[in-house]
A and B are shown apart, each in its own frame.
Chain A
Amino acid sequence: MIWVDTLVQGILLGGLYALFAAGLSLVFGVMRLVNLAHGDLIVLAAFVILTIATTLGLHPFVAVFLAMPIMFAVGWGLQTYILNRVLGDDILPPLLVTFGLSVVIQNTLLETFSADSQKLTAGPIEAQSVALGPTTVGLTPLLTLASAILVIFALNQLFYRTKLGRAFRATSDDPVTVGLMVIRPNNVFAIATGIAMVVATIAALYLGVRANFDPTIGPARLLYAFQAVIIGGLGSLWGTLAGGIIIGVAQALGAAVNPEWQLLSGHVAFVLVLLFRPRGLFPRAND
């Protein structure tokens, strides 16, 4: 019985990791960019929501809608003014630039908001639970997983059903040729990163409502997100959801055996999957 409960908790935790990872997966799918600052950008989004919620006295679930356009602008600007300059065959510049960004964002947040732990207070919803078959689950974790599924469904619709999605896929395939079709690759990249930051804002909402956060937790979130993306297979959004759930379940099972093994078992699951499936479970692209 306890194992079923652990499994369910793990799946729900996986929803949060899938949300962390969805933006990363989108950016990689469109421009093959590995953004090492993604975790810190999620934490930045959490602080944006916190600032809006406290200054305007809004509920975090409302404040998130005001934070989204701000983070879209951050993503757009980041891509236009910095990241577009380093895209190319050489993998070193984008890695080092995003690594630099990670350190800059982290320490700017430290200077601005101090190292104190913060939390987004969402009121009674935090403690509510619902009965789900043989187990009882918290409402917020359930909402997290539901949001993850919704976000990934929406991103897939965007990718495969809209004009913008067609531009994404075309630019991903051949950024030079799309130029002939009056599409500016740099613009497409900027919009993609903007959307990734909107997804990161949703992830930040649940990050802040479910647990405490402080400026230094970004890199750990980045690792979970990357593990989810790589396990799922590069460029596959549903794969990313599966990858997040695998990490979540592995962590929950590890924690059930020994609380000190939570993080370790997540990492070990990642290594094991890659030893047997080097390209992840559902690889889409041939690169």
Chain B
Amino acid sequence: MLDQKTINRILMAFGIVGVALLFAVPIIGSRAMVQDLFGVLTLLILAQNWNLLAGFAGLVSVGQQAFVGVGAYAMFACVILLGLDPLVGILVGGFVAMALAVPMAFFAFRLAGAYFAIGTWVVAEIVRLCFAQWKALGGGTGTSLPKGTTKNMFGVPEIKELLGVSSSAASDALTYWLALVLALATLGAGYFFLRSRMGLGLQAIRDNDEAARSVGVNPTRLKAWVFMLTAFGTGICGALLFIQITRVTPEAAFSVLDWTAFVIFITVIGGIGTLPGPIVGVVFFYILQRALSDYGTVYLIVLGSIGIIVMLFARRGLWGLFSDKTGIELLSLRQYAPETKPNPLAQIK
């Protein structure tokens, strides 16, 4: 029987090989594969952010599409109105989403528990309806990135030369690598944040609000931080997504189904409140979508039903089930008491 440390080392090795393979996909894989995996990775980024929000900070938001949409629109505005590089637009998208999070938190944090979900949803609707009025970016019908934008994007000509592929394949490769880096960064940031003093405070609030307050944790401030940081991550992801899509409309950019509902199911099925959960969930979602792709919206019915079953019978999702059965913990957030040195005086009697 292997002990926990050996198992962890083996899994870690698998993880590193897996990540290396993922980085190599644009070189060794087909373009369709790159595009498919880009979709999976962006969903994973959204799910990781939502998991931090709902699973660790207890903020069940149904309005994350607001940040995706705002990020996307900010990127489009940078490219079309200011003539900036789309990659700069991505960063701007993140900051604009974060800026939106401030008034949104100010309003939604007044609503307790379940009403927070409705409040965020309503704010997302308001933002969508406002962007539909922005005539410079096409109003209700939306707009496209100018022709050639992605071909001349920073780094694309170099990749084109290096890999010897077409411009559009090179731009796919670039957005794919960015998505992969962003997904890994979100995972790493989530891990270190949750292991930090702030993260510990957050989990203390989740487990017992009053006890956490009594030892000096300020729940509102911590939650506001998480809300803003996840808005940043979600906004960046939204901007990145729409560089690949190249066309933005209010309906697509602020879609509650694409950017929030899927993300919720992925997190719940994979394991809410665990770091590996979203990864397991996104793999499951991808397989399900592929297997049922010939049957219209049936996969949504199946997805919803599985989400309900998981919530009823296995609240910590597939990862939680696996972890309980095997005792394997990955990216564990468990804190151990410091080892006490044997007291030399205890020997002398």
Bound-state CA distance A59–B123 (Å) is 40
Interface size on A, residues (CB 8 A): 37
Q: Do the beta carbons of A104 and B297 come within 8 Å of each other?
A: no
Chain B 102-139 per-residue mask, 1 if CB under 8 angstroms from chain A, else 0: 00000100110111011101110110011011000000
Q: Do the beta carbons of A267 and B261 come within 8 Å of each other?
A: no
A116 at the interface (CB under 8 A from B): no
Residues of A within 8 A of B297 (CB): 107, 110-111
Bound-state CA distance A86–B315 (Å) is 10
What residue in chain A is nearest B139 (Cβ atoms)?
Answer: A260
What residue in chain B is nearest A271 (Cβ atoms)?
Answer: B107
Residues of A within 8 A of B133 (CB): 260
Interface window among A176-184, A194-202, A223-231: A223-231
A103 at the interface (CB under 8 A from B): yes
A101 at the interface (CB under 8 A from B): yes
Residue in A95, A264, A267, A278 whose beta carbon sits within 8 Å of that of B114 in the complex: A95
A92 at the interface (CB under 8 A from B): yes
Kindly state the interface size class of chain B when it binds its partner: 35 or more
Q: Do the beta carbons of A101 and B304 come within 8 Å of each other?
A: yes
What residue in chain A is nearest B268 (Cβ atoms)?
Answer: A96
Chain A positions 55-90 with a Cβ under 8 Å from a chain B Cβ: 82, 85-86
Bound-state CA distance A161–B101 (Å) is 46
A282 at the interface (CB under 8 A from B): no
A248 at the interface (CB under 8 A from B): no
16 A–B contacts, CB within 8 A, in A order: A34-B117, A34-B118, A91-B114, A93-B315, A95-B60, A100-B265, A100-B305, A100-B308, A101-B304, A104-B301, A107-B298, A107-B301, A219-B256, A223-B122, A226-B115, A264-B129
Closest 3 CB pairs of A and B: A34-B114, A104-B304, A103-B304
Given A36-B117, A100-B305, A260-B133; 14 other pairs, CB 8 A cutoff = A34-B117, A97-B307, A97-B311, A100-B311, A102-B304, A223-B125, A226-B118, A227-B118, A230-B118, A267-B125, A267-B129, A270-B122, A274-B107, A275-B110
